[in-house]
Amino acid sequence: MPSFKELEKWLSTGQVAKRLSKSRQGVLWLAEAKKLRAVKVACGWIFDPASVSEYAEKHGRKGKEAR
């Protein structure tokens, strides 16, 4: 389980959808299918940025950084 400090850096569903050029529902499917490392919290899902980057590289996406 990640620490609270680490979770502060994790990404929202919307941020991941934007980085991967997917819909929010598509990102949720990836989390539920365990294709992305994610944790369900009271306000929704949050995603491990390293997992998102790995997925982006593996599937030919750029994994754009947030601006």
The DSSP output letter for 59 is T
Distance separating alpha carbons of residues 38 and 2, to the nearest angstrom: 10
In contact, 29 and 23? CB cutoff 8 Å: no
Query: Residue 11: beta bridge partners?
Result: 47
Query: What is the model's pLDDT at position 5?
Result: 79
Q: What does pTM read for this prediction?
A: 0.81
Query: Residue 46: beta bridge partners?
Result: 12, 39
Q: Where are the beta strands (DSSP E) in 1-67?
A: 11-12, 38-41, 44-47
Query: What is the model's pLDDT at position 66?
Result: 44
pLDDT tens track, the chain, 67 positions: 677 777 789 999 999 999 999 999 999 999 999 999 999 989 899 999 999 999 999 997 665 554 3
The DSSP output letter for 45 is E
